[in-house]
Chains A and B, each alone.
Chain A
Amino acid sequence: MEFKTILFYLFAAVLLGSALRVITARNPVHAVLFLVLAFFNAAGIWMLLQAEFLAIALVMVYVGAVMVLFLFVVMMLDVNIERLRQGFWSYLPLGGVIALLMLGEMILVVGGRYFGLENFPGQNVAAGASNTKELARLLFTKYAWPFEIASLILLVAIIAAVMLTLRKRGDTKAVHPSDQIKVKRNDRVRMVKMQSETNISLQAGSSATPKGD
Protein backbone atom coordinates (compact mmCIF):
# COMPACT_ATOMS: atom_id res chain seq x y z
CA MET A 1 0.00 0.00 0.00
CA GLU A 2 1.23 3.43 -0.87
CA PHE A 3 2.31 5.80 1.89
CA LYS A 4 -0.34 8.34 0.89
CA THR A 5 -3.07 5.73 1.21
CA ILE A 6 -1.88 4.82 4.70
CA LEU A 7 -1.93 8.49 5.64
CA PHE A 8 -5.43 8.89 4.21
CA TYR A 9 -6.79 6.01 6.27
CA LEU A 10 -5.02 7.32 9.36
CA PHE A 11 -6.48 10.82 8.96
CA ALA A 12 -9.93 9.44 8.09
CA ALA A 13 -9.96 7.11 11.11
CA VAL A 14 -8.98 9.85 13.55
CA LEU A 15 -11.47 12.20 11.87
CA LEU A 16 -14.36 9.76 12.27
CA GLY A 17 -13.36 8.87 15.82
CA SER A 18 -13.12 12.47 16.95
CA ALA A 19 -16.35 13.39 15.12
CA LEU A 20 -18.08 10.60 17.03
CA ARG A 21 -16.66 11.92 20.29
CA VAL A 22 -17.99 15.41 19.46
CA ILE A 23 -21.55 14.15 19.83
CA THR A 24 -20.92 11.69 22.64
CA ALA A 25 -18.60 13.66 24.94
CA ARG A 26 -20.27 14.52 28.25
CA ASN A 27 -18.38 17.77 28.72
CA PRO A 28 -19.23 20.34 26.00
CA VAL A 29 -15.72 21.82 26.21
CA HIS A 30 -14.28 18.38 25.40
CA ALA A 31 -16.70 18.15 22.47
CA VAL A 32 -15.34 21.44 21.08
CA LEU A 33 -11.75 20.23 21.48
CA PHE A 34 -12.60 17.00 19.64
CA LEU A 35 -14.09 19.15 16.87
CA VAL A 36 -10.72 20.92 16.65
CA LEU A 37 -9.04 17.53 16.23
CA ALA A 38 -11.57 16.64 13.53
CA PHE A 39 -10.78 19.87 11.67
CA PHE A 40 -7.07 19.17 11.81
CA ASN A 41 -7.59 15.75 10.27
CA ALA A 42 -9.91 17.13 7.60
CA ALA A 43 -7.14 19.61 6.77
CA GLY A 44 -4.75 16.68 6.49
CA ILE A 45 -7.05 14.93 4.02
CA TRP A 46 -7.39 18.11 1.95
CA MET A 47 -3.63 18.40 1.95
CA LEU A 48 -3.43 14.86 0.57
CA LEU A 49 -5.74 16.02 -2.24
CA GLN A 50 -3.20 18.81 -2.90
CA ALA A 51 -5.71 21.49 -1.93
CA GLU A 52 -3.10 23.48 -0.04
CA PHE A 53 -5.00 26.72 0.32
CA LEU A 54 -8.17 25.05 1.58
CA ALA A 55 -6.22 23.01 4.11
CA ILE A 56 -4.39 26.03 5.51
CA ALA A 57 -7.56 28.13 5.46
CA LEU A 58 -9.39 25.41 7.38
CA VAL A 59 -6.75 25.43 10.08
CA MET A 60 -6.47 29.21 10.15
CA VAL A 61 -10.14 30.16 10.02
CA TYR A 62 -11.89 27.23 11.65
CA VAL A 63 -9.36 26.09 14.22
CA GLY A 64 -7.93 29.52 14.85
CA ALA A 65 -11.08 31.60 14.96
CA VAL A 66 -14.35 29.70 14.78
CA MET A 67 -13.45 27.18 17.46
CA VAL A 68 -12.39 29.98 19.80
CA LEU A 69 -15.84 31.44 19.30
CA PHE A 70 -17.40 28.03 19.97
CA LEU A 71 -15.44 27.75 23.20
CA PHE A 72 -16.60 31.19 24.29
CA VAL A 73 -20.19 30.35 23.43
CA VAL A 74 -20.03 27.03 25.27
CA MET A 75 -18.62 28.79 28.32
CA MET A 76 -21.03 31.69 28.00
CA LEU A 77 -24.18 29.63 27.71
CA ASP A 78 -23.60 27.87 31.03
CA VAL A 79 -24.93 24.57 29.65
CA ASN A 80 -26.39 22.21 32.18
CA ILE A 81 -25.58 18.88 30.58
CA GLU A 82 -27.67 16.85 33.02
CA ARG A 83 -30.80 18.77 32.11
CA LEU A 84 -30.06 18.40 28.40
CA ARG A 85 -29.81 14.64 28.78
CA GLN A 86 -33.25 14.30 30.30
CA GLY A 87 -35.71 12.56 28.01
CA PHE A 88 -32.98 11.13 25.78
CA TRP A 89 -34.61 7.71 25.53
CA SER A 90 -38.12 9.01 24.95
CA TYR A 91 -36.96 11.18 22.04
CA LEU A 92 -34.71 8.47 20.59
CA PRO A 93 -37.27 6.76 18.27
CA LEU A 94 -38.40 10.01 16.64
CA GLY A 95 -34.87 11.35 16.41
CA GLY A 96 -33.63 8.04 15.01
CA VAL A 97 -36.23 8.06 12.24
CA ILE A 98 -35.31 11.63 11.28
CA ALA A 99 -31.62 10.76 11.36
CA LEU A 100 -32.20 7.79 9.05
CA LEU A 101 -34.21 9.98 6.66
CA MET A 102 -31.41 12.55 6.57
CA LEU A 103 -28.83 9.79 6.04
CA GLY A 104 -30.86 8.52 3.06
CA GLU A 105 -31.10 12.03 1.62
CA MET A 106 -27.38 12.57 2.01
CA ILE A 107 -26.58 9.26 0.30
CA LEU A 108 -28.88 10.19 -2.60
CA VAL A 109 -27.47 13.70 -2.97
CA VAL A 110 -23.79 13.22 -2.25
CA GLY A 111 -23.63 9.68 -3.61
CA GLY A 112 -21.69 8.42 -6.56
CA ARG A 113 -24.32 9.42 -9.11
CA TYR A 114 -23.28 13.06 -9.06
CA PHE A 115 -19.99 13.08 -7.24
CA GLY A 116 -18.49 9.79 -8.40
CA LEU A 117 -15.06 9.73 -9.95
CA GLU A 118 -16.46 9.05 -13.45
CA ASN A 119 -18.28 12.41 -13.36
CA PHE A 120 -15.03 14.28 -12.90
CA PRO A 121 -12.83 13.27 -15.80
CA GLY A 122 -9.88 15.09 -14.32
CA GLN A 123 -8.68 18.35 -15.69
CA ASN A 124 -5.46 18.40 -17.56
CA VAL A 125 -3.35 20.16 -15.03
CA ALA A 126 0.28 20.79 -15.61
CA ALA A 127 2.67 18.98 -13.33
CA GLY A 128 3.75 21.99 -11.30
CA ALA A 129 0.36 23.72 -11.27
CA SER A 130 -0.57 25.38 -8.01
CA ASN A 131 -4.00 24.69 -6.63
CA THR A 132 -4.04 28.09 -4.92
CA LYS A 133 -3.33 29.92 -8.17
CA GLU A 134 -6.06 28.04 -10.02
CA LEU A 135 -8.48 28.92 -7.25
CA ALA A 136 -7.41 32.56 -7.33
CA ARG A 137 -7.78 32.80 -11.10
CA LEU A 138 -11.38 31.65 -10.83
CA LEU A 139 -12.16 33.70 -7.74
CA PHE A 140 -10.92 37.01 -9.13
CA THR A 141 -12.26 36.68 -12.65
CA LYS A 142 -15.32 34.49 -13.02
CA TYR A 143 -16.54 34.85 -9.44
CA ALA A 144 -15.48 38.46 -8.84
CA TRP A 145 -19.05 39.63 -8.21
CA PRO A 146 -19.88 36.94 -5.59
CA PHE A 147 -16.50 37.73 -4.04
CA GLU A 148 -17.48 41.35 -3.51
CA ILE A 149 -20.87 40.27 -2.18
CA ALA A 150 -19.01 38.11 0.35
CA SER A 151 -17.40 41.24 1.76
CA LEU A 152 -20.85 42.84 2.11
CA ILE A 153 -22.05 39.77 4.01
CA LEU A 154 -19.03 40.07 6.30
CA LEU A 155 -19.86 43.76 6.82
CA VAL A 156 -23.43 42.88 7.79
CA ALA A 157 -22.05 40.30 10.21
CA ILE A 158 -19.79 42.89 11.86
CA ILE A 159 -22.64 45.37 12.26
CA ALA A 160 -25.01 42.68 13.55
CA ALA A 161 -22.47 41.42 16.09
CA VAL A 162 -21.77 44.92 17.36
CA MET A 163 -25.47 45.80 17.53
CA LEU A 164 -26.45 42.59 19.32
CA THR A 165 -23.72 42.27 21.90
CA LEU A 166 -22.42 45.75 22.62
CA ARG A 167 -23.89 47.27 25.72
CA LYS A 168 -22.32 49.73 28.06
CA ARG A 169 -21.99 48.64 31.61
CA GLY A 170 -22.72 51.38 34.12
CA ASP A 171 -20.79 49.90 37.01
CA THR A 172 -17.26 49.96 35.65
CA LYS A 173 -14.68 52.39 36.94
CA ALA A 174 -12.79 52.54 33.64
CA VAL A 175 -11.46 55.93 32.58
CA HIS A 176 -11.13 56.90 28.93
CA PRO A 177 -7.92 58.78 28.19
CA SER A 178 -9.67 60.91 25.55
CA ASP A 179 -12.22 62.09 28.10
CA GLN A 180 -9.41 62.90 30.48
CA ILE A 181 -7.59 64.96 27.90
CA LYS A 182 -10.72 66.87 26.88
CA VAL A 183 -11.38 68.03 30.44
CA LYS A 184 -11.43 71.81 30.90
CA ARG A 185 -10.21 73.58 33.99
CA ASN A 186 -13.76 74.62 34.87
CA ASP A 187 -14.88 70.98 35.10
CA ARG A 188 -12.45 70.25 37.88
CA VAL A 189 -11.73 73.46 39.80
CA ARG A 190 -14.08 76.28 40.75
CA MET A 191 -12.76 79.51 42.11
CA VAL A 192 -14.99 80.87 44.79
CA LYS A 193 -14.81 84.54 45.60
CA MET A 194 -15.26 85.29 49.24
CA GLN A 195 -14.52 88.07 51.60
CA SER A 196 -11.38 87.83 53.53
CA GLU A 197 -11.99 86.70 57.07
CA THR A 198 -11.76 89.28 59.75
CA ASN A 199 -10.93 88.59 63.34
CA ILE A 200 -13.14 85.65 64.21
CA SER A 201 -13.07 86.19 67.95
CA LEU A 202 -14.91 89.53 67.53
CA GLN A 203 -17.74 87.98 65.53
CA ALA A 204 -18.17 84.84 67.57
CA GLY A 205 -21.75 83.62 67.51
CA SER A 206 -22.77 85.85 64.60
CA SER A 207 -23.91 84.31 61.30
CA ALA A 208 -20.67 84.97 59.39
CA THR A 209 -21.05 82.42 56.60
CA PRO A 210 -18.85 82.74 53.53
CA LYS A 211 -20.47 83.37 50.19
CA GLY A 212 -20.86 80.44 47.86
CA ASP A 213 -20.66 76.89 49.11
Chain B
Amino acid sequence: MLENYFSVLVFILVGLAFGCMPILMGRFVAPHRPDAEKLSAFECGFEPFEDARMKFDVRYYLIAIIFILFDLEIAFLFPWASIFQEIVNTPAVKFFGFIEMFVFMGILVVGYIYAWAKGALDWE
Protein backbone atom coordinates (compact mmCIF):
# COMPACT_ATOMS: atom_id res chain seq x y z
CA MET B 1 0.00 0.00 0.00
CA LEU B 2 2.76 2.43 0.89
CA GLU B 3 4.28 2.14 -2.58
CA ASN B 4 1.33 4.17 -3.84
CA TYR B 5 2.44 7.08 -1.71
CA PHE B 6 6.02 7.05 -2.95
CA SER B 7 5.22 9.75 -5.50
CA VAL B 8 3.85 11.91 -2.67
CA LEU B 9 7.16 11.51 -0.87
CA VAL B 10 9.02 12.50 -4.03
CA PHE B 11 6.78 15.54 -4.31
CA ILE B 12 7.53 16.53 -0.72
CA LEU B 13 11.27 16.13 -1.25
CA VAL B 14 11.24 18.10 -4.50
CA GLY B 15 9.13 20.79 -2.85
CA LEU B 16 11.53 21.01 0.07
CA ALA B 17 14.51 21.25 -2.27
CA PHE B 18 12.72 23.84 -4.38
CA GLY B 19 12.06 26.00 -1.35
CA CYS B 20 15.34 25.53 0.46
CA MET B 21 17.87 25.54 -2.38
CA PRO B 22 17.48 29.20 -3.43
CA ILE B 23 17.76 30.32 0.19
CA LEU B 24 20.80 28.15 0.85
CA MET B 25 22.44 29.14 -2.42
CA GLY B 26 21.82 32.79 -1.68
CA ARG B 27 23.37 32.29 1.72
CA PHE B 28 26.49 30.44 0.57
CA VAL B 29 27.15 31.61 -2.98
CA ALA B 30 26.26 35.29 -2.86
CA PRO B 31 28.56 37.77 -1.10
CA HIS B 32 27.49 38.15 2.53
CA ARG B 33 28.54 41.42 4.16
CA PRO B 34 25.92 42.41 6.77
CA ASP B 35 25.87 45.96 8.00
CA ALA B 36 23.53 47.71 10.41
CA GLU B 37 23.20 50.62 7.99
CA LYS B 38 21.79 48.34 5.31
CA LEU B 39 18.77 47.59 7.52
CA SER B 40 18.21 51.11 8.79
CA ALA B 41 15.60 53.50 7.44
CA PHE B 42 16.86 55.90 4.78
CA GLU B 43 15.54 58.79 2.70
CA CYS B 44 11.77 58.97 3.23
CA GLY B 45 11.70 56.04 5.65
CA PHE B 46 11.30 56.60 9.36
CA GLU B 47 11.61 54.53 12.49
CA PRO B 48 8.42 52.57 13.36
CA PHE B 49 6.18 54.27 15.89
CA GLU B 50 4.88 51.08 17.52
CA ASP B 51 4.82 47.32 17.26
CA ALA B 52 3.59 46.10 13.90
CA ARG B 53 1.58 43.34 15.56
CA MET B 54 -1.84 44.71 16.28
CA LYS B 55 -5.07 43.19 17.47
CA PHE B 56 -7.22 41.43 14.91
CA ASP B 57 -10.96 41.70 14.75
CA VAL B 58 -12.61 38.84 16.63
CA ARG B 59 -14.66 38.20 13.50
CA TYR B 60 -11.79 36.32 11.85
CA TYR B 61 -11.88 33.91 14.77
CA LEU B 62 -15.58 33.28 14.26
CA ILE B 63 -15.10 32.49 10.58
CA ALA B 64 -12.16 30.20 11.39
CA ILE B 65 -14.04 28.25 14.05
CA ILE B 66 -17.11 27.77 11.83
CA PHE B 67 -14.74 26.54 9.13
CA ILE B 68 -13.17 24.02 11.53
CA LEU B 69 -16.53 22.62 12.57
CA PHE B 70 -17.74 22.03 9.04
CA ASP B 71 -14.29 20.73 8.07
CA LEU B 72 -14.69 18.10 10.78
CA GLU B 73 -18.12 17.23 9.46
CA ILE B 74 -16.64 16.67 6.00
CA ALA B 75 -13.88 14.50 7.49
CA PHE B 76 -16.53 12.08 8.75
CA LEU B 77 -18.07 11.82 5.31
CA PHE B 78 -15.01 10.17 3.76
CA PRO B 79 -15.08 6.86 5.70
CA TRP B 80 -18.84 6.71 5.16
CA ALA B 81 -18.37 7.13 1.43
CA SER B 82 -15.68 4.45 1.36
CA ILE B 83 -18.09 1.77 2.66
CA PHE B 84 -21.22 3.17 1.05
CA GLN B 85 -21.51 0.28 -1.47
CA GLU B 86 -21.14 -2.18 1.39
CA ILE B 87 -23.88 -0.46 3.44
CA VAL B 88 -26.32 -0.43 0.54
CA ASN B 89 -25.65 -4.08 -0.34
CA THR B 90 -26.12 -5.35 3.24
CA PRO B 91 -29.84 -5.68 4.02
CA ALA B 92 -29.31 -5.58 7.81
CA VAL B 93 -27.75 -2.11 7.92
CA LYS B 94 -29.08 -0.77 4.66
CA PHE B 95 -31.51 1.75 6.09
CA PHE B 96 -29.67 2.44 9.34
CA GLY B 97 -26.31 3.14 7.77
CA PHE B 98 -27.85 5.40 5.19
CA ILE B 99 -29.99 7.43 7.60
CA GLU B 100 -27.25 7.69 10.19
CA MET B 101 -25.15 10.10 8.19
CA PHE B 102 -28.18 12.21 7.33
CA VAL B 103 -29.06 12.54 11.02
CA PHE B 104 -25.46 13.59 11.64
CA MET B 105 -25.57 16.18 8.92
CA GLY B 106 -29.09 17.28 9.86
CA ILE B 107 -27.97 18.21 13.36
CA LEU B 108 -25.13 20.24 11.88
CA VAL B 109 -27.44 21.93 9.39
CA VAL B 110 -29.35 23.26 12.41
CA GLY B 111 -26.10 24.92 13.49
CA TYR B 112 -25.57 26.21 9.98
CA ILE B 113 -29.03 27.76 9.87
CA TYR B 114 -28.45 29.25 13.32
CA ALA B 115 -25.16 30.85 12.24
CA TRP B 116 -26.76 32.13 9.07
CA ALA B 117 -29.84 33.52 10.80
CA LYS B 118 -27.73 35.25 13.43
CA GLY B 119 -25.76 36.97 10.69
CA ALA B 120 -22.47 35.27 11.58
CA LEU B 121 -21.74 34.67 7.92
CA ASP B 122 -22.19 38.33 6.98
CA TRP B 123 -19.26 40.64 6.73
CA GLU B 124 -20.37 44.15 7.57
* Chain A positions near chain B (C-beta within 8 angstroms): 4, 7, 47-48, 50, 52-53, 56-57, 60-61, 64-66, 68-69, 72-73, 75-78, 130, 132-133, 135-137, 139-141, 144, 147-148, 150-152, 154-155, 157-159, 161-162, 165-169, 172, 174, 176
Most-contacted residue by chain A among B2, B93, B97, B110 (CB, 10 A): B2
Q: What residues of chain B lie closer than 8 Å to A169, measured between beta carbons?
A: 124
Given A65-B71, A69-B64, A157-B65, CB of A133 within 8 Å of CB of B120: no
Residue of A nearest to B8 (CB): A47
Cβ of A41 to closest chain B Cβ, rounded Å: 11
Q: What residues of chain A lie closer than 8 Å to B120, measured between beta carbons?
A: 162, 166
Bound: A53/B75 CA distance, A: 9
Q: What residues of chain B lie closer than 8 Å to A166, measured between beta carbons?
A: 62, 118-120
Residue of A nearest to B116 (CB): A162
B104 on interface, CB distance cutoff 8 Å: yes
Q: Is the interface of B mostly helix, strand, loop or mixed?
A: helix
Given A158-B111, A161-B65, A166-B120, CB of A133 within 8 Å of CB of B59: no
Given A50-B2, A159-B114, A166-B120, CB of A64 within 8 Å of CB of B61: no
Whether B61 and A155, one on each chain, are in contact in the complex, defined by CB atoms closer than 8 angstroms, is no
Q: What residues of chain B lie closer than 8 Å to A68, measured between beta carbons?
A: 64, 67
Quick one: CB contact mask for B67-81 with A, threshold 8 Å, 1 for yes? Answer: 111011101101110
Bound: A7/B9 CA distance, A: 10
Cβ of B79 to closest chain A Cβ, rounded Å: 3
Whether A154 and B82, one on each chain, are in contact in the complex, defined by CB atoms closer than 8 angstroms, is no
Pick from B5, B61, B119: contact of A72, CB under 8 Å: B61
Q: Chain B: how many interface residues by the 8 Å CB criterion?
A: 52
Q: What residues of chain A lie closer than 8 Å to B2, measured between beta carbons?
A: 4, 47-48, 50
Q: What residues of chain A lie closer than 8 Å to B56, measured between beta carbons?
A: 72, 75-76
Cβ of B110 to closest chain A Cβ, rounded Å: 6
A to B CB contacts below 8 Å, 29 in the list:
A7-B9, A48-B2, A61-B68, A61-B71, A64-B71, A65-B64, A65-B68, A66-B68, A75-B56, A76-B60, A76-B61, A132-B82, A140-B79, A140-B80, A140-B83, A141-B97, A154-B108, A155-B108, A155-B110, A158-B69, A158-B115, A161-B62, A162-B118, A162-B120, A165-B62, A166-B62, A167-B58, A174-B123, A174-B124
